[in-house]
Amino acid sequence: MLKGIGALLIIISSSLLGILISSKYSIRPKEIRKLRFSLQMLETEIVYGSTPIPYACYNVGCKSDKPWKDFFMRVSENLLKRKFFSLEEAWNDAIVNSLKNSYLTSADKELLRNFGRVIGKSDTEDQKKHFKLIYAQLEHHEKIAEDEKARNEKMYKSMGFLLGAAILIILV
Amino acid sequence: MQNNKTIDEIMNFLPPKIQWLLSRCISDHILNVEEIRLRLNKPLIISGSNWDFFIDSNGFLTKDIKNAYVTSKDDIKKASEIIQGFSVYSFGEELKNGYITIPGGHRIGVSGKTILNNGNVKIIKDISFINYRIAREIIGAADKVIPYVIDPTSTIYNTLIISPPQCGKTTLLRDMIRQLSNGIKTLNIKGFKIGLVDERSEIAACFLGEPRNDVGIRTDVLDACPKAQGIIMLIRSMSPDIIATDEIGKDEDAQALMEGANAGVKIITTMHGCDIDDLHRKIELKKIHSNYFQRIIVLGKSKGVGTIEKIYDREGKILYLST
């Protein structure tokens, strides 16, 4: 009886470990997609509303999902409360501090960092171009992330289960 | 108290280093500061009506240029980002004119290298000179002139305020609007409906649509609208008795003023200049008939900022002379 419960616990915990590792691959494409939606809102604010960045980021933050809600709110706060005196610094600070728990890779963050260098720096027409570029880049990253997900998600899940089974065999 | 509020409004738009220097500065002068001037690699200067000072690296006012804090490239770069709200697309149009108005009605002027497009200024880049001009609301600034502009038979006379920069033109205009709009019991004047075309957002200092300065209870503000269009729009939409606007100078302004006159609306406006001759010398304003303005108020600095030097009537006869 006791043995049975122990065996079950081992199997469950190792399977959960597998799911945990695999979630890294399933969450990243979702996060990239959500970023794209948020940036689309930001583009509308900039191109049609001419809203200054601090207010535009606040509006976008209100309507975004995690982790982008925190990200845009932080950019807005950094600028409005004058914690930083340039958009690039405020943007980078938010990348470092608001995306700690996200599953984005350093390449994704680098993309976002580069975007922070150009946003707000030119007229509406030019801003449109930068948005177009980052959409294309994000789509590319999303595709890679989806591929990785397809490849790895299942593998880690089954590996977790198999690990549990292996431990059981060794112990018994 | 009032002054503390104004300086705080400006503080938020200064680069961090200079903000820090000024916040350490405890002199009374800081409360009466009119301009804060940043010039690339030149000393930081703050000035008032008839004084100017450098600031040393500990935030003390000084007259000695050797100790003066020198404005760095970083200061200028940060300042220009802040005053544009980190958003060139949003403020580029405003910056084309060389200045931006911030909440509170303060004006930040910039100068640098202009980029032309078809002979018009497209943008100002490489900003290296920045001037923070602090706007002050002085209640009662117009007490002296009000009796001269009242027309006992109808409303008021068409009035022009002529003044060099920094002599209190806008302050005087704002207080005239406030008094005429509220009405003045002692002079037995009922309040007039006033339409205010505030192209530079300086007079009413609207922020998100609400005037930050007191412009009276019967005043409608058309914020950030070009004067010529705004005058016509207000006549049609708000049926004002008086239209007030700031700094006329363009051809179309003159035309709109004449149209306003034909619509039976009285005008109060201002112009840069030193005396009445400057009005006739400006070719852009030649469309205005020589006797269009029935009262012309000339401001100067002979007894401090905002001294009313002379008031003329429409024939150019002097009604008031500062003694």
pLDDT per residue as tens digits for the range B147-204: 899 888 778 899 999 998 888 888 899 999 999 999 988 888 888 999 999 988 888 8
Shared domain for B119 and B181, answered yes or no, is: no
Reported ipTM: the value is: 0.70
Give the bridge partners for B156, in sequence order: B150
Compute the distance between CA of residue B257 and CA of residue B157 in angstroms, rounded to an integer.
14
- Select the more confidently predicted residue: B310 or B323: B310
Is pLDDT at B146 greater than 80 in this prediction? yes
B188: Cβ contacts below 8 Å, ≥ 6 apart: none
Distance of CA B208 to the CA centre of its chain: 19
Compute the distance between CA of residue B182 and CA of residue B202 in angstroms, rounded to an integer.
20
pLDDT for B1: 36
Q: Report the run of H or E that residue A134 belongs to, with start and end.
A: helix A124-171
Q: Is B241 within 8 Å of B265 (Cβ atoms)?
A: yes
Domain containing residue B97: CATH number = 3.30.450
Among the ranges given (A28-32, A40-44, B210-214), the one the predictor scored with the smallest mean pLDDT:
B210-214
Closest-CA residue in chain B for A122? B88
Q: Once rounded to an integer, what is the mean pLDDT over residues B118-138?
A: 85
- Say if the Cβ atoms of A85 and B82 lie within 8 Å: yes
- Say if the Cβ atoms of B81 and A87 lie within 8 Å: yes
Per-position DSSP letters for A43-108, written without gaps between them? HHHHHTT---HHHHHHHHHHHPPTTHHHHHHHHHHHHHTTS-SSHHHHHHHHHHHHSTTS---HHH
Shared domain for B179 and B240, answered yes or no, is: yes
Shared domain for B35 and B181, answered yes or no, is: no
Provide the mean pLDDT of chain A.
Answer: 90
Q: Which amino acid is at A118?
A: V
B265: tokens are: 């609306």
pLDDT category, B208, cuts 50, 70, 90? low
What percent of chain B is modeled with pLDDT above 90?
A: 27
- Select the more confidently predicted residue: B209 or B320: B320
Shared domain for B41 and B126, answered yes or no, is: yes
Q: Is A116 exposed, middle or buried (0-12, 13-18, 19+ CB in 10 A)?
A: buried
Three-point CA angle B261, B225, B87, nearest 5°: 165
Is B306 among the domain residues?
yes
> Which residue reads 């112990």 in tokens?
A171
Q: Once rounded to an integer, what is the mean pLDDT over residues B296-318?
A: 86
B63: tokens are: 């007259």
CB contacts under 8 A, B 117-176 vs A, are: 123
What percent of chain B is modeled with pLDDT above 70?
A: 98
User: If we measure between CA atoms, which residue out of B134, B245, B264, B136 comes closest to residue B198?
Assistant: B245
The torsion defined by the Cα of B275, B279, B283 and B284, in degrees rounded to 10, comes to: 120
Domain count for chain B, please give it: 2
Shared domain for B175 and B296, answered yes or no, is: yes
pLDDT category, A116, cuts 50, 70, 90? very high
Domain containing residue B277: CATH number = 3.40.50.300
Q: Is B53 within 8 Å of B61 (Cβ atoms)?
A: yes
Give rounded-to-5 percent helix, strand, coil for chain B. Answer: 30, 30, 40
A53 touching B (Cβ < 8 Å): yes
B15 touching A (Cβ < 8 Å): yes
Tell which of B133, B158, B177 closes a domain: B133
Task: Report the residue from B78, B87, B123 with minimal CB separation from A120.
Answer: B87
Task: Report the residue from B16, B77, B86 with minimal CB separation from A52.
Answer: B86
Shared domain for B128 and B170, answered yes or no, is: no
- Say if the Cβ atoms of A54 and B86 lie within 8 Å: yes
Shared domain for B227 and B297, answered yes or no, is: yes
3-state secondary structure of B115: strand
Task: Report the residue from A46, A79, A87 with minimal CB separation from B89.
Answer: A46
A42 touching B (Cβ < 8 Å): no
Tell which of B103, B133, B163 closes a domain: B133
pLDDT for B3: 53
Provide the whole-model pTM: 0.72
Nearest Cα of chain A lies from the Cα of B12 at a distance, in angstroms, of 8
Shared domain for B150 and B125, answered yes or no, is: no
Q: Work out the number of other CB atoms within 10 angstroms of the CB of residue A29.
A: 20
A137 touching B (Cβ < 8 Å): no
Per-position DSSP letters for B65-77, written without gaps between them? GGGBPBPPHHHHH
Residue range B254-274, pLDDT digits in tens: 888 888 888 889 999 999 988
B96 touching A (Cβ < 8 Å): no
Three-point CA angle B12, B170, B154, nearest 5°: 145
Is pLDDT at A94 greater than 80 in this prediction? yes
pLDDT for B37: 92
The count of CB pairs under 8 A between chains A and B is 50
Three-point CA angle A37, A88, B131, nearest 5°: 125
Provide, as residue numbers in chain A, all residues whose Cβ is less than 8 Å from the Cβ of B91. Answer: 52
A16: tokens are: 């959960």
Residue range B35-79, pLDDT digits in tens: 899 999 999 999 887 788 898 888 888 888 888 999 999 999 899
Task: Report the residue from A51, A82, A85 with minimal CB separation from B90.
Answer: A51
Q: Once rounded to an integer, what is the mean pLDDT over residues B81-98?
A: 82
A35 touching B (Cβ < 8 Å): no
Provide the H-helix boundaries in chain B: 2-11, 16-24, 73-83, 88-95, 146-149, 169-182, 227-238, 251-262, 276-281
Domain housing B120: 2-133
A1 touching B (Cβ < 8 Å): no
Is B103 among the domain residues?
yes
Tell which of B92, B107, B133 closes a domain: B133
Q: Once rounded to an integer, what is the mean pLDDT over residues A123-150?
A: 92
Compute the distance between CA of residue B191 and CA of residue B180 in angstroms, rounded to an integer.
6
Provide the mean pLDDT of chain B.
Answer: 86
pLDDT category, A133, cuts 50, 70, 90? very high
Task: Report the residue from B12, B88, B90 with minimal CB separation from A82.
Answer: B12
Give the bridge partners for B81, in sequence order: none
Is B141 among the domain residues?
no
Provide, as residue numbers in chain A, all residues whose Cβ is less than 8 Å from the Cβ of B123. Answer: 123
Give the β-pairing of B206-207 and B210-211: antiparallel
Packing angle between helix A106-118 and helix A87-98, nearest 10 degrees?
Answer: 160
Shared domain for B123 and B251, answered yes or no, is: no
Closest-CA residue in chain A for B19? A82
Is pLDDT at A70 greater than 50 in this prediction? yes
Is B53 among the domain residues?
yes
- Say if the Cβ atoms of A123 and B88 lie within 8 Å: yes
Shared domain for B200 and B178, answered yes or no, is: yes
